Structure 1
Amino acid sequence: MLNCRTLFLSDIHLGCKNCQAGYLLSFLKKCQVDKIYLLGDIVDLWAMQRQVFWKVQQNQVVRQLLKMAEQGTEIIYVPGNHDEAFRLYAGKNFGAIQVELRSQHITLSGQRLLLVHGDEFDKHVQLAHWHRRLGDHLYDLLLFLNRWNQRLRRLLGRPYFSLSALIKSKVPGARQAIARYRDAAIARAKRGGYDGIVCGHIHHPEITLQDGILYCNDGDWIDSCTALVETPDGSLALYHCAEHCQQIAVWPEAEAGRVSSLTKVA
């Protein structure tokens, strides 16, 4: 069981055939958490306009979140661009789940964090240029290859590995685009007087201290299968959650450029 003070999730993309709902469901069932922030693209309304792909496990993820809310976990939902229709309900509740345009969180150590999805930074950086270079159809092909690679690895008894994330990392300019996005997010947090920012959107998990501002991206459940966790002692950690949950980075260690050793969750 993973005991945590706060859990940050984004880019689940329920309703999309590439959603790794099974891994997320398993992770949620291992979590004992006081508060959950859902930072956008939880439901992929864009994908569902083309084709609705809603497996049993995706429905179980929704049921698990509602169950956790009913049992006392506070859940705050900040919609993203793929579920932007829910932004119309900001300030209202879906059962026990609160909907907000943006939020803030104060860690146990007193750090004030701005919480957004992150699509607002697209206009400040030409983030979409590598998406344009790949093209929508090519990106769909990468995700198709990723699904079949995953099926093959399961047959061979191999753990989850994101082929699409590896290929994207080789695209010229992708790292520069991620850096520009990070810079824009950090600048926004600094202007608001925050100590840090937590966001998603670009499907690239990371914890970095830059210019005195803590930048946290909780990743996604299409490629990386990652979540950001505030532990009971106030540390922030990234977990990769597939067949097993492993801690892949932690702050304050991240401020020294170090990555934590892998920690398996039973």
Structure 2
Amino acid sequence: MVKREVDIVVISDVHLGTYGCQARELLKYLKSIKPKILILNGDIIDIWQFSKSYFPEAHTKVLRRILKFVAEGIPVYYLTGNHDEMLRKFADFNLGSFQLLNKVLLNIDGKKAWIFHGDIFDVTMQHSKWLAKLGAVGYDTLILINSMVNWCLRLLGRPKMSFSQKVKARFKDAVKFINHFEQTAADLAVDKGYDYVICGHIHHAEIREIKGEDRDGSVLYLNSGDWVESLTALEYQNNTWSIYKYQPDDFKTEAEDDDKTDSEDLDAKMNVLDLLERFKQETN
């Protein structure tokens, strides 16, 4: 397969280790591209809900593919989110082309980009973390039920549906939260004089110019969406940002899997799972 060359790729909210994670689709996407920079903008591994009893091979292959980028010398920035917040104690860790950070500032073709996950704007996260974790479990259960319903719909030849997107669209508070999140990020970016502010967290892919509220100036706000329902990423190429949306038809002829699984890979997998289990225990 000829890989697409992309200057910058931003993905977030993958939630590896949960039933809702669309790891197979993400793996196909990662295999199809050759980025010059890869930014993992939080909630890549869902350590909140991590269980050694559920971490499929496809999820491990996503991690292996990311490590392959690192081995090839491609700069990979892993920015921490709320579901992998225990990694924040290791922020500023560097290993070759891999960097673990809470946020990053990049100069992109002469423009300043401020990139971070965005959970800092979530009041629930700041004051009622137990409630946020409970909501995460409920969301994952909703996604699981939704996947079973969609399986039945496919058998009947009917289009898929998204429960959570219907819930978000129905409740004004959800729309209000998204708008407030975007405006807050934009206001802070305008104050700091940035050209781009790039977030994740709210599972809502977006690119739009936002004017500062009660302040002069504007900023290009970008959000990479998620790999649970939206299956989206941000791509930067030829001085232009765009939202990539996964389409199954683009991958009808899948390349042979070059991530061979042998005994060494399986041992490495178990070590990763043991490490994630320790992270989870330390935060409970």
What's the TM-score once normalised by structure 2's chain length?
0.76
Q: Counterpart of 1:219?
A: 225
1:14-73 CA distances to partner (integer Å, 9 max, x unpaired)? 111110101100000111110001111111011116x75211110000001111111121
What percent of counterpart residues are identical?
35
Deviation at 1:105, TM superposition (A): 2.3
Q: How does 1:1-266 map to 2 (within 5 A)?
A: 1-48=3-50, 52-93=53-94, 96-108=97-109, 110-123=110-123, 139-155=139-155, 162-211=162-211, 212-231=218-237, 233-244=238-249
The separation in 1 between residues aligned to 2:100 and 2:137, in whole angstroms, is 33
Deviation at 1:219, TM superposition (A): 0.4
Higher helix share: 2
Question: Structure 1 residues 12 and 52, CA, compared in 2 at 3 Å: closer, same or farther?
Answer: farther
Question: Structure 1 residues 13 and 135, CA, compared in 2 at 3 Å: closer, same or farther?
Answer: closer
Conserved 8 A contact 1:206-1:217? yes
Question: Structure 1 residues 137 and 85, CA, compared in 2 at 3 Å: closer, same or farther?
Answer: closer
Deviation at 1:138, TM superposition (A): 5.1
Question: Structure 1 residues 36 and 46, CA, compared in 2 at 3 Å: closer, same or farther?
Answer: same
Question: Structure 1 residues 61 and 18, CA, compared in 2 at 3 Å: closer, same or farther?
Answer: same
**Aligned with 1:173: secondary structure?**
helix
Deviation at 1:154, TM superposition (A): 4.8
Report the aligned-residue RMSD. 2.8
The separation in 2 between residues aligned to 1:94 and 1:150, in whole angstroms, is 41
1:132-171 CA distances to partner (integer Å, 9 max, x unpaired)? 8x95665344212321134235545677653422332222
Question: Structure 1 residues 44 and 190, CA, compared in 2 at 3 Å: closer, same or farther?
Answer: same
The separation in 2 between residues aligned to 1:3 and 1:198, in whole angstroms, is 21
Higher Rg of the two aligned structures: 2
**Aligned with 1:47: secondary structure?**
coil
Letter in 2 for 1:234: N
Question: Structure 1 residues 85 and 30, CA, compared in 2 at 3 Å: closer, same or farther?
Answer: same
Deviation at 1:188, TM superposition (A): 1.7
Conserved 8 A contact 1:124-1:184? no
Conserved 8 A contact 2:18-2:140? no
**Aligned with 2:49: secondary structure?**
helix
Deviation at 1:85, TM superposition (A): 1.0
What's the TM-score once normalised by structure 1's chain length?
0.81
Conserved 8 A contact 2:19-2:144? no
The separation in 1 between residues aligned to 2:160 and 2:98, in whole angstroms, is 31
**Aligned with 2:48: secondary structure?**
helix
**Aligned with 1:65: secondary structure?**
helix
The separation in 1 between residues aligned to 2:135 and 2:74, in whole angstroms, is 40
Letter in 1 for 2:146: N
Segments of structure 1 that go 5 or more residues without pairing to the other structure are 247-265
The separation in 2 between residues aligned to 1:44 and 1:137, in whole angstroms, is 11
Question: Structure 1 residues 94 and 160, CA, compared in 2 at 3 Å: closer, same or farther?
Answer: farther
The separation in 1 between residues aligned to 2:148 and 2:113, in whole angstroms, is 38
The separation in 1 between residues aligned to 2:125 and 2:137, in whole angstroms, is 23
The separation in 2 between residues aligned to 1:135 and 1:9, in whole angstroms, is 22
**Aligned with 1:28: secondary structure?**
helix
Deviation at 1:96, TM superposition (A): 4.0
Segments of structure 2 that go 5 or more residues without pairing to the other structure are 212-217, 256-284
Query: Number of paired residues?
Result: 240
Deviation at 1:100, TM superposition (A): 1.1
**Aligned with 1:33: secondary structure?**
strand
The separation in 2 between residues aligned to 1:82 and 1:60, in whole angstroms, is 20
Conserved 8 A contact 2:19-2:140? no
